Structure 1
């Protein structure tokens, strides 16, 4: 691998992983708000699932940044993001009667599509690792 490719790869890994590490760590500081948000989406065993979300996001993100056990890290992130996408960004179930509801539904659709894009990138990372 050329030196420039190595640096570009490293920068890409850092930028990609930031969303997971920052999100995972922010859940610690906003523990009660995150629990309430999870409960508002009819989740049960929220403390357990919150701890798991934090662990999966942070360890998966660090794994990709450090290029260490990257395939396992991508699996951790997929275990987190797949259910989270369908639980928290189910825009197709939201009402669209008022302007505010339409805006909310569109914002959730964008979040859903962002997560689908990240899922695609995780599959590419997994597939291109040599581990």
Structure 2
């Protein structure tokens, strides 16, 4: 079970690490997109969300307060779903569909991160292959 939990953590965080790299290396382009979506202080929000993803993903991946890392990812995902993928505001059917897919992806990933939180906050280091026990 320990190896399966580790593989699950690895597969789950790949998306966040790749996205964080984009936030931190292509900040101006991503901030422009965020600004177009109405995000205030778009450049700061882009950098902050990149850092949030890196810290949350590495925490979960390495098992260093994995429960906290999972919460950090939820803190990133839910506001992102509502701020960046507000499909209900779109009038073009194609844009609406694409935003709905992204919204649902973010909400589903938040659900997965909450499950990781529950596992690591509840069972903690009994899942093994973590560097620390849970914070909560």
Matches within 5 A, 1:1-131: 5-95=1-91, 101-129=92-120, 130=124, 131=134
Aligned CA-pair RMSD: 1.1
Distance 1:90 1:79 in 2: 17
Moved >6 Å (runs of 4+): none
Using the size of structure 1 for normalisation, the TM-score is: 0.88
C-alpha distance in structure 2 between counterparts of 1:59 and 1:102, whole Å: 36
Q: How far off is 1:73 after superposition?
A: 0.7
SS of 2:2's partner is: helix
What whole-Å deviation, never above 9, does each CA across 1:73-94 have from its counterpart, x for those lacking one? 1121111111111011110111
Matched residues, number = 122
Q: Which has the higher contact order (CA 8 A, sep 6+)?
A: 2
Q: Unpaired runs of 5+ in structure 1?
A: 96-100
Shift of residue 123 of structure 1? 1.0
> What's the TM-score, normalizing by structure 2?
0.85
Unmatched segments (≥5 aa) in structure 2: 125-133
